[in-house]
Amino acid sequence: MSVTAAKGFTAAGIAAGIKESGDPDLALVVNHGPRLAAAGVFTSNRVKAAPVIWSEQVVKGGQVSAVILNSGGANACTGPLGFQDTHKTAEKTAEALGEEFSPGEVAVCSTGLIGIRLPMDQLLPGIDTAVAQLSAHGGEKAALAIKTTDSVHKTAVVESPAGWTVGGMAKGAGMLAPGLATMLVVLTTDADVAQPELDKALRAATRTTFDRIDSDGCMSTNDTVLLLASGASQVAPGYEEFAEAVRAVCDDLARQLIGDAEGASKDIRIEVVNAASEDDAVEVGRSIARNNLLKCALHGEDPNWGRVLSAIGTTSAVFEPDRLNVAINGVWVCKNGSVGEDRELVDMRYREIRITADLAAGHESAVIWTNDLTAEYVHENSAYSS
């Protein structure tokens, strides 16, 4: 059901001819209100694509009436002319939607290759087609049109018994910072929520979901997460209840992103426990998640805990080397910084691998998700462009 699960939204997904393959490449999501509240979280990469610079400004206004998204081109590192293309895309979208729409309330998202101008001759007429196909059942098609190297489209929905819904779609295989391929996420809700609460709920949700998946340590120039509220359910939920629904949808989509990461054969859940602070836990988790040697070992189903310790050793977290413990799939292969239980006991046949790193330094914890490093990842990313 995707972005049209919540009342007050229509969507469309079409093939505008941006992709040479002829696959769907243009998606449109429209908020018909009565509310037009919106929040957004964007890449922390300092090299930002034109649509990110544009959409950050749009979201600052607090109201978003439509999101136009294209795959087939990132419109990043395209200079002032690339920014003009984004501007024209928003203008054309508002114009095609009708009088009550203003370009300043149209967010724009792009994904694909960096450093190439968008084919505006295809994109602009495509907007008319997308508007003509807008439907309260268009969520799936929109989710399909934003795919790039994704093997499947990703959607998630949480319905509250109180009569409101949070739904969303995602593309990519990465995270806000950093992320493998660009991650684009559009969430919609018909809950009646004011902009400040929307913003607070979105930031809280992304901090522990999209921000804690780290497929390959690379940060995109285009990552964007938008949350639009129509208020069409006429139900105003309590903040905690609403924030939990947003978090659940984000968590679901984040897991789908990791599950579809380019070339991956394993989903790796790294839980850092007994850290002195949450920041320490996250730093250690990320360091483990970014260790290429470990990621190769896990691909080979080798419970190489030495590479986990080696990764922990590069951090500034509070710990003593001879108090570290590491479990892989429940087997404590490293105890007190040295050999623990028999590594032959670790069963690594399944796609999900669970690593627990016990810092023995406090009571905080964090979970980071990553993938293994495979020959397929290399192949996909050495043959993707050019």
Active site residues: 182
Binds a copy of itself (CB under 8 A): choice among 241, 339, 345, 347: 339
Q: Which residue, 126 or 285, has its beta carbon nearer to a copy of itself? A: 285
Minimum CB distance to a copy of itself smaller for 190 or for 358: 358
Determine, following the binding rule CB under 8 A, whether residue 116 of this chain makes contact with a copy of itself. yes
Question: Is 9 a residue that touches a copy of itself (CB under 8 A)?
Answer: no
The answer to the question of whether 262 is labelled as a binding residue is yes
62 counts as binding a copy of itself under rule CB under 8 A: no
Q: Phi then psi for 282, rounded to 5 degrees?
A: -70, -45
Task: Determine the distance from the C-alpha atom of residue 75 to the mean position of all C-alpha atoms in its chain, rounded to a whole number.
Answer: 18
Of 152, 162, 194, 378, the one binding a copy of itself by CB under 8 A: 378
Q: Which one of 151, 338, 345, 347 is in contact with a copy of itself (CB under 8 A)? A: 338
386 contributes a contact to a copy of itself by CB under 8 A: yes
- The binding track of 158-187 with respect to a copy of itself, each residue x by CB under 8 A or -, is -------------------xx-x-------
Stretch that binds a copy of itself, among 95-103, 122-130, 251-259, 291-299 (CB under 8 A): 291-299
**Smallest distance, Å, CB 324 to a copy of itself?**
8
136: contact with a copy of itself by CB under 8 A: no
What is the C-alpha separation between 329 and 353, in angstroms, rounded?
Answer: 6
Pairing of β 66-70 and β 106-110 = parallel
From 218, 235, 236, 248, residue interacting with a copy of itself (rule: CB under 8 A): 218
- CA separation for the pair 110, 123 (Å, rounded): 11
Should residue 46 be labelled a site residue for a copy of itself when binding is judged by CB under 8 A? yes
Cα separation, 310 vs 294, whole angstroms: 9
Q: If you search the block for the tokens 């949700």, which residue do you land on?
A: 205
CB-based contacts of 355, cutoff 8 Å, min separation 6:
268, 269, 270, 271, 288, 308, 326, 327, 328
Q: Is 171 annotated as a binding residue?
A: yes
- Residue 64 token pair: 């978003």
Closest among 3, 1, 2 to 228, alpha carbons compared: 3
DSSP 125: H
Query: For a copy of itself, which residue of 115, 125, 259, 362 counts as binding (CB under 8 A)?
Result: 115
Amino acid type, 189: T
Q: How far is the C-alpha of 193 from the C-alpha of 118, rounded, in Å?
A: 35
Q: Copy the structure tokens of residue 248.
A: 């659940």
Other beta carbons less than 10 A from residue 323's beta carbon = 14
Considering the complex, state which of residue 121 and residue 320 has its C-beta at the smaller distance from a copy of itself.
320
Nearest CB to a copy of itself, comparing residues 65 and 291: 291
With tokens 């080696």, the residue in question is: 310
Which of 67/333 has CB closer to a copy of itself? 333
Beta bridge pairs of residue 270:
355, 368
Among 55, 250, 337, 353, binds a copy of itself (CB under 8 A): 337
Contact between 131 and a copy of itself by CB under 8 A: the answer reads no
| Angle, in degrees to the nearest 10, between helices 305-312 and 292-299 | 160
Asked if 347 is part of the footprint of a copy of itself (rule: CB under 8 A), the reply reads no
Comparison of 113 and 235: residue with beta carbon closer to a copy of itself: 113
In whole angstroms, give the CA distance from residue 199 to residue 139: 23
Which range in 24-32, 60-68, 152-160, 368-376 contacts a copy of itself by CB under 8 A? 368-376
Distance CA 380, CA 262 (A): 7
Of the two residues 54 and 319, which places its CB atom closer to a copy of itself in the complex? Answer: 319
374 is in an annotated binding site: no
Beta strands per DSSP E along the chain: 9-14, 26-31, 37-42, 66-70, 106-110, 154-159, 165-171, 184-189, 224-229, 267-275, 325-328, 331-335, 338-339, 352-358, 364-371
The one among 238, 314, 350, 352 contacting a copy of itself by CB under 8 A: 314
List residues forming the annotated binding site for substrate. Answer: 148, 171, 182, 262, 381, 386
List residues forming the annotated binding site. Answer: 148, 171, 182, 262, 381, 386
List residues near a copy of itself by CB under 8 A.
44-48, 74, 76-79, 82, 113-117, 177-178, 180, 216-221, 290-293, 296-297, 299-307, 309-315, 319, 321-322, 324, 334, 336-339, 343, 373-375, 377-386
